[in-house]
Homo-oligomer: A and B are copies of this chain.
Amino acid sequence: MAFKIGLLGLGTVGSGTVKILQDPAQRHPLLQELEIYKVGVRSLDKPRPVEIPDEKLTTDLESIVTDPEVDIVVEVIGGLEPARSLILKAIQHGKHVVTANKAAIARFGAEIYTAAEAAGVYVLLEAAVGGGIPVIEPLKQSLCANRIHSVTGIVNGTTNYILTRMKNEGGDFGDILADAQRLGYAEADPTADVDGLDAADKLAILASLAFGGRIKLEEVYCEGIRNVGAADIAYAERLGFVIKLLAIARREPQLSPDEPEQLQVRVHPTLVPKQHPLASVNDVYNAILIEGDPIGQVMFFGPGAGSGPTASAVVSDVLNIAAILKVERGNATKPDGQPLLDPLLACSHQHYCTIAPADETVTRFYARFLTNDSPGVIGSLGTCFGNHNVSLESVVQTDVRGDMAEIVVVTHDVREGNFRQALDEIRTYETVNEIASTFRVL
């Protein structure tokens, strides 16, 4: 029983999606039941980083979303049209849809979800916010018992990269933007990122999920980072803050129960106290902090963009739909039999993992020795470690009291067994009084 995927688009995210689907080893076994059935592209001759048999490729994207064989349509062409029309047509033809398209969902979410509701199909969009970081599904499922108070996110990698470099280098916005464009971290037309529009799309989606209602994109307040000057960053630093482009959705306090509930939904550069969890999210990383009752604060951190991370979210959504379909089909064909479990929720593995013996594991170590303060001790330690194939990163003699010395050693990656053997030998040295401590180093 295979689930047939119609993939729309074979750009960065589409290629990443194909790479996962073509390489199922050590991933969830359900992946082996997914089939790349058709792939819609703009041009058939373009060189691509993945291999797709010619007969699966087509430039007729509409033929994919209307094909009765297709179970799940994956839309990764981006942009507003024809993405919107193709998604709607796929839904009308009873296909489940997975999309990474924040722009289309933020603008046409109402139309798309109304159609999906009517047709009884899922439209999943984990990849639309935070790249591969799980945040949509945790909001829908893992945190669903909470009353969400706020969602605060660094959800645009380009602006976070620029702000991080401005802070670290003391440079000006214009210069660093130009350099980011040169390096591929910013688009030739940087408007959507730099003016906060991309973050606003994502915030509209997050707020809708967090607060259980739709959001009109034009009601999201949006201010970009063009006005953040080097002087502001320097002052913020002196005052104990870093400047971040934050996307914030928050329930307003209700002054009386008769008042309608109100939200704040806004994107703008923000001074964040240095000790705040979001303050240390740097470069192109994204993070989303969710506050709720009774969870308190939870934060999700990771790569907010890129082919692989975004494809991770796309394929995971596809698997979630396939899991549901598997249950439905199984139950339909076995009306009186044992109900089938959703294979992602159930723990159906029965075999035992093989655990490596401790001596075989490879890690870095830290060790502290109390030794005589005599010449040659460091040399004898170094020689012993070397004889046991333990390579040292640093050796520091850190303290001397009377005729005693303290020596701290940090190793490179070593086989634990080798390190232990070296310690056993060192323990016999007359110049070493004590191995005071040993720890692993990440």
**Which residues of A pack against B, CB within 8 Å?**
16, 19-20, 25-31, 109-110, 113-114, 116-117, 120, 122-124, 126, 132-134, 136-138, 140-147, 152, 207-209, 211-216, 219-221, 227-229, 231-232, 235-236, 238-239, 241, 243, 246, 251-252, 260-266, 268-273, 276-278, 280, 292-303, 306-309, 311-316, 318-320, 324, 328, 331, 338-342, 344-356, 358, 360-361, 366, 368, 394, 396, 398, 408, 410, 436-437, 439-442
Contacts and interface: CB of A to CB of B under 8 A. Distances in A.
Given A134-B138, A141-B316, A266-B361, 13 more contacts: A28-B145, A30-B144, A213-B349, A215-B353, A228-B437, A229-B437, A239-B408, A252-B356, A260-B354, A262-B354, A266-B358, A270-B442, A295-B312
Contacts of A29: 212
Contacts of A269: 439-440
Contacts of A398: 235, 238
A331 B350 CA distance: 30
Contact of A353 (B132, B263, B344, B351): B263
Contacts of A297: 302-303
Nearest to A319: B144
A100 to B, nearest CB: 13
Contact of A312 (B146, B313, B341, B441): B146
Chain A binding surface, main DSSP class: mixed
A239 B410 contact: yes
B145 A351 contact: no
Given A28-B145, A138-B134, A144-B319, A302 B298 contact: yes
B214 A353 contact: yes
List 3 tightest A-B contacts by C-beta distance, closest first. Answer: A294-B308, A134-B142, A145-B315
Contacts of A146: 27, 312, 316
- Which of A134, A238, A239, A294 has the largest number of chain B CB atoms within 10 A? A294
B308 A320 contact: no
A264 to B, nearest CB: 5
A141 B145 contact: no
A133 B299 CA distance: 9
Given A144-B320, A221-B358, A353-B214, A16 B294 contact: yes
Contacts of A349: 208, 212-214
Contacts of A298: 132-134, 300-303
- Which of A120, A152, A207, A212 has the largest number of chain B CB atoms within 10 A? A212
A25 B147 contact: yes
A19 B353 contact: no
A137 B266 CA distance: 29
A215 B146 CA distance: 32
A117 B348 contact: yes
A330 to B, nearest CB: 11
15 contacts: A25-B147, A109-B347, A117-B348, A120-B340, A132-B295, A141-B319, A144-B344, A146-B316, A208-B349, A228-B439, A236-B366, A262-B354, A269-B440, A277-B301, A299-B300
B353 A145 contact: no
